[in-house]
Structure 1
């Protein structure tokens, strides 16, 4: 494999019949990395993926420069989703399952460290919220032209549907619950917290 400039990052894509956990995804990624790349014909999905693609039996590894990671990751997530494949991000230790999804077609997940995911699965939304930090200063779910929910460290929630409201919530579990409710079209979080 040719050496790429600077630091490289990886994503791995493969097929799973049902949603899996991050632990399962991490174990699969590590096991595949120890195996030998596959010889022969690459699967169709490999031809659509950006970056440097290495094919392993049943798995495709995408390597890209850190500089282009945000843009290329978005392309990888989209291609994987279109093919019904899971995608594991070992840098962030995040897993993109095909399902279950929220109710808003085209909803986007945005993070302060540059990740943008179209139609994120609910497990990913839950896991991303645990990465809030100085390096990832916000997470937002956006349904363009309608409404959004966003959170920053210290668990300050912002919700906008017409007007912008803010609420400070107690802990990460409260934040994860509010984002889950938002994603599935349940507005219980609006009654549960004090909004200003």
Structure 2
């Protein structure tokens, strides 16, 4: 079985709905003639060129590793990357304040310097197949959540709290990614 990612240029961040619509429209066309983005030469996996778009196909066994490489190359070129399997869009911006921050998911996705929209959307994908989401600043601190909305934060000492709803989890992750520690004061934490 194979999986796909699509990479193309967008002047501003786009929503998952916009990315999905673009992906589906491009897939209805034939590969071939038209301007080929320079990024195509650097992408791993099997590359299929569409006018202004690059489709990267990889096998399921290497999906996590190859996807991470595709996300990194696309970002370096200032391009959007859409993941139709997870229905997630990787925009170039806006980013959090921690350079080198990583987003990890329980279904194997790792993204360096994730955009804030991706972090927000990934949190809504938690399930038995994706049992956690974490933002990690290695050697400094991290914030993670598991289904049931148990938040764990570690900066020296690991502390935990239960959160009522997804919107509060998303706000806490946004606060953390942007360097705002307000989420620590909004909840009652225990060790």
TM-score by length of 2: 0.98
Aligned to 2:150: 156
- 1:192 equivalent among 181, 186, 191: 186
- 2:127 equivalent among 130, 133, 137: 133
Aligned to 2:68: 74
Q: Deviations over 1:70-93 (max 9, x none)?
A: 000000000000000000000000
Aligned to 1:43: 37
Which stretch shows the higher mean deviation, 135-144 or 38-47?
38-47
Structure 1 CA distance, aligned partners of 2:3 and 2:57? 6
Work out whether 1:14 is the aligned partner of 2:14.
no
Work out whether 1:120 is the aligned partner of 2:114.
yes
Q: Report deviation, 1:44.
A: 2.0
Structure 1 CA distance, aligned partners of 2:186 and 2:118? 23
TM-score by length of 1: 0.95
Q: Report deviation, 1:42.
A: 4.1
Work out whether 1:60 is the aligned partner of 2:54.
yes
Contact kept in structure 1, 2:103 and 2:112, CA below 8 Å: yes
Q: What are the ranges of 5 or more consecutive residues in structure 2 without an aligned counterpart?
A: none
Q: What are the ranges of 5 or more consecutive residues in structure 1 without an aligned counterpart?
A: 1-6
Contact kept in structure 1, 2:134 and 2:142, CA below 8 Å: yes
Structure 1 CA distance, aligned partners of 2:58 and 2:132? 24
Q: Report deviation, 1:97.
A: 0.4
Q: Deviations over 1:85-142 (max 9, x none)?
A: 0000000000000000000000000000000000000000000000011000000000
SS in 1 for 2:61: helix
